[in-house]
Structure 1
Amino acid sequence: MPLITVGVNHKTAPIAIREQVAFAPEKMIEALSSLVTDQRAQEAIIVSTCNRTELYCSVEDLHKIDQVIAWLGQYHGIELEELKQYCYTHIADDSVRHIMRVASGLDSLILGEPQILGQVKSAYAVSQEGDCIGPELESLFQRTFSVAKRVRTDTAIGENPVSIAFAAVSLAQRIFADIRRSTALLIGAGQTIELVARHLKENGVKRIIVANRTLARAQTLASELKAEAIMLGDLGDYLPQADIVISSTASQLPIIGKGMVERATARRRHSPMLLVDIAVPRDIEPEVEDVSDAYLYTVDDLHSVIEENVRARQEAARAAEALIDEGVDAYRKTLESRKVSDLIVNYRQSAESIKQTELEKALKSLQSGQASEQVLNKLAHGLMNKLIHAPTQYLREAGSEADQEALTIAANVLGINEDKDN
């Protein structure tokens, strides 16, 4: 059965459309069941994230593509003509290549981002739970997970940070031999600081302090990460305890000045302090650069790191594309092998049926008192005629059409050496 992909993503549709076609997690099994039981698809997996909604389906024939698009529109109450403006489709090998690129992070908004593989695996698990996966998608997704794993392990696609938050944490990892022994002071409680906090936590930072103008907001973030929450007014007391300071607020004036850092480094006995200012306008006075043992980086410094890393990821992506090409070829060979296996099974079943029919005739003849030699001759003759009937017909048709290639193939299949004297 053909494989198809129908989708909408960040490249083809604005967020207003992506929001409309997104599937709520609690409704996913219901949606899958609707898609499969309506006979639009034989098997289905739906990947729905903030940047994409994609339907991976095994269908009876390619005419079902339009029906799958229509189902997507009907399910979300979107006019078909409007939806078609933003939809893309892939079939057969293109569909296989697409899902492998998606799972490997090559089709993501941020090249090489690792979260998408987990999201694809989650979508696969939900479809399994809903009993909407059969042999076609099972084989495809197992191969996809294997390829995505190779891309992660055999290329540098995910090694270089390309987000401000990740770049800030990576910078800290370069400066401190063991970041797990460090104390991090985060100033602000917005989305960027939240991402920084999560990256630090994932990397095992010993202690995290969150400072914010509103204590309640700092406490909300701190409670999620088992961190400490303080007011901005307490910065002077806590700054000397911090090895890493990362700041991102909406303040119009600097929060940390040169004098505050000088006092902090003195109390730290000149142990190095990393300060990363990712706010615009800046949270940390530029003069802090002049303080001994204080290493100040701004958002511009991080952007230059990110640009280098994007280039590095693009180089890794080329290697990843080669692995995906191998994956598509391997999957195609699996399909061809399965077709041959099915053909062999059917051929053997046909031969078994002929055998059983002729054997039953022979047993009845023996029971009726016919001589065993006569019965055996009839059995052998009957088996031979039935087994050579189809090949003989094929040979006659090929001969009448002077199809030498077909005759040569048939001779090879039947084990006949045409050059041998009879």
Structure 2
Amino acid sequence: MTLLALGINHNTASVELREKVAFGPDKLSQALSDIKQVEGIEGGVILSTCNRTELYCDVSAKDEGALVDWLTEFHQVEPSELRSSLYVHRDTEAISHLMRVSCGLDSLVLGEPQILGQVKQAFADAKSHQSVNTSIEKLFQKGFSVAKRVRTETDIGGSAVSVAYAACTLAKHIFESLANSTVLLVGAGETIELVAKHLSSNGCTKMIVANRTRERALSLANEFGAEVIALNEIPEHLAKADIVISSTASPLPIIGKGMVETSLSARKHQPILLIDIAVPRDIEAQVGDLDDAYLYTVDDLQSIVDSNIEQRRAEAVQAEAIVKQESTVFMDWHRSLKSVNGIREYRDNAHEIRKQLLEKGMQALASGADPEKVLTELSNKLTNKLIHSPTQAMQQAAQEGQHDKLQIIRESLGLDMNS
């Protein structure tokens, strides 16, 4: 049996192709049922995200042809279009690939943690459709444990590598607890939505969303239990905010020096952290000149992000070493399955020979044959049948000069090579 990882990802395929071969919820159930019928597939898991579609299978087939044919037929894509973007990993490489994916080492954003949850969900889906065999089960469980080990022993996921995440990390460092802080979010686009998610996951419960259109702000506010205000209401609410994070498409600043100065006076000069991640800027640069107003721009955050990316790359070296070690250990276990099967077959064959000869001996005794002759014949035939195959193998190895093979056979038979 061979462990196989086959697929496309953001490094090998365009968005258009990734969309064509994605397994959405409406397709996944049928696909998991179908894949079990593919010739040579003993077990399989389908991982499908916006950045990758991968099949992890335990196969008895000589190559991946049948699996590729099924994939192209299922999604009705041209084989030539898919094959040019396809990668195939076998055994140790397949094991290592799953571990790297689970750890975020193969992600668009190095070390991102969301992929592990997606891998776990893919495994759970496959298991619920009974498309998981022992080898695939062990492979994925090992992948999960390696991801946990990488997260524990390295800091690959500990640094902010997006501007939105960096903004929240900065706020968390300056304020002891975001649970006690009020945050004013200016704008309601994707970046602010991502900021809100990071804030919420870090315990922030007091948010105010200011936006030009109230409908968009309401959608975001409802998700996080935030208050909604219009942009022209910011001066009235700014004094409530401990943290201001702004990202709009406004061509002119929305928050000026005078507005912040007035708010600081109302706050009795309790500090305000202002993070401007808009281009052009939403907050006047002169705000940074005010005492108790701490202004950071997108350039400040980008320098943090760049530094953290380098830190993640350094941590990835250690993570890769862990993956290499663990994939070797797992492959040794997988190879041992073949020896277990071989041992089982050898023992079953020996027991079958003994059973056949014993039946003949019992029949001879029942017919009145001399017990001593029966036992002698039984022992001779049993010995000859059991040593026949090893003897032939030793003779062939000796004749062909395969001394390493000959040594292995002798050692397996408990013979001293020097005799």
Same fold (TM over 0.5): yes
Partner of 2:260: 261
1:124 alignment partner in structure 2:
123
Cα distance in 1 between the residues matched to 2:233 and 2:246: 15
Q: In structure 2, how many angstroms separate the alpha carbons of the residues matched to 1:345 and 1:168?
A: 60
Deviations 1:317-354 (A, max 9, x none): 11111111112211111112222222222222122222
> What pairs with 1:142-291 in structure 2 (closer than 5 Å)?
142-291=141-290
RMSD of aligned C-alpha atoms? 2.0
- Please say if 1:346 is aligned against 2:345: yes
Instruction: Work out the CA distance in 1 between the residues paired with 2:388 and 2:218.
Output: 83
Matches within 5 A, 1:253-402: 253-370=252-369, 372-401=371-400
Secondary structure of the structure 1 residue equivalent to 2:41: coil
Aligned to 1:7: 7
Kindly provide the amino acid, as one letter, of the partner of residue 299 in structure 1: V
Amino acid at match of 2:385: K
Q: Give the Cα–Cα distance (whole angstroms) in 2 for the partners of residues 383 and 362 of structure 1.
A: 11
1:25 aligns to 2:25 (yes or no): yes
Give the conservation status (yes or no) of the 8 Å contact 2:38–2:70.
Answer: no
Worse-matched range after superposition: 91-100 or 154-163: 91-100
Deviation of 1:164 (Å)? 1.0
Letter in 2 for 1:152: R
Q: Following TM superposition, by how much is the alpha carbon of 1:39 offset from its aligned partner in structure 2, in angstroms?
A: 1.8
Q: Partners of 1:402 and 1:160 in 2: how far apart?
A: 59
Contact 2:38/2:66 (8 A) holds in 1:
no
Quick check: 299-308 or 408-417, which moved more? 408-417
Is 1:94 the counterpart of 2:100? The answer is no
SS at match of 1:42: strand
Distance 1:383-1:30 versus aligned 2 partners, 3 A rule: same
Q: 1:42-68, CA deviations, whole angstroms, 9 ceiling, x for partnerless residues?
A: 3222111111111222222343x2332
236-245 or 80-89, larger mean C-alpha shift: 80-89
The C-alpha deviation readout for 1:189-226, integer Å capped at 9, x for no partner, is: 11111111011111111312212122222121111122
Q: Deviations over 1:12-65 (max 9, x none)?
A: 2221221111111232121122233132633222111111111222222343x2
Structure 1 residue runs of 5 or longer lacking an equivalent are none
Give SS of 1:252's match: coil
1:401, distance to aligned residue in structure 2 (A): 4.3
Q: CA deviation at 1:400?
A: 4.3
Change (3 A) 1:242 1:95: same
Aligned-residue offset at 1:114:
0.7
* 1:388 positional shift: 1.8
Distance verdict in 2 for CA 1:26–1:391, change over 3 Å:
same
Asked whether the 8 Å contact 1:8–1:88 carries over to 2, the reply is yes
Mean Cα displacement is larger for which, 219-228 or 354-363? 354-363
Letter paired with 1:23: F
> Match for residue 414 of structure 1?
413
Q: Following TM superposition, by how much is the alpha carbon of 1:244 offset from its aligned partner in structure 2, in angstroms?
A: 1.2
Distance 1:355 1:265 in 2: 95
- Mapped to 2, the partners of 1:315 and 1:400 lie a distance apart of 54
Q: How far apart, CA to CA, are the structure 2 residues paired with 1:402 and 1:250?
A: 78
Alpha-carbon distance change, 35 to 253 in structure 1, aligned in 2, over 3 angstroms: same
Distance 2:310 2:228 in 1: 38
Number of paired residues?
419
CA distance in 2, matches of 1:404, 1:79: 50
Deviations 1:213-241 (A, max 9, x none): 22222121111122222222222222111
Query: Is this contact kept in 2: 1:144–1:327, CA < 8 A?
Result: no
The one-character-per-residue Cα deviations of 1:139-168 (angstroms, maximum 9, x if unpaired) are 222221122211111111101110111000
* Letter of the 1:248 counterpart: S
TM-score by length of 2: 0.94
Establish whether residue 138 from structure 1 lines up as the match of residue 155 from structure 2.
no
- Structure 2 gaps of 5+ residues are none
Q: Could you tell me how far apart the structure 1 residues matched to 2:238 and 2:26 are?
A: 45
- Structure 2 distance, partners of 1:117, 1:303, is 26
Shift of 1:116: 0.7
Counterpart of 1:143, as a letter, is K
Identity of aligned residues (%): 48
1:47 is matched with which residue? 47
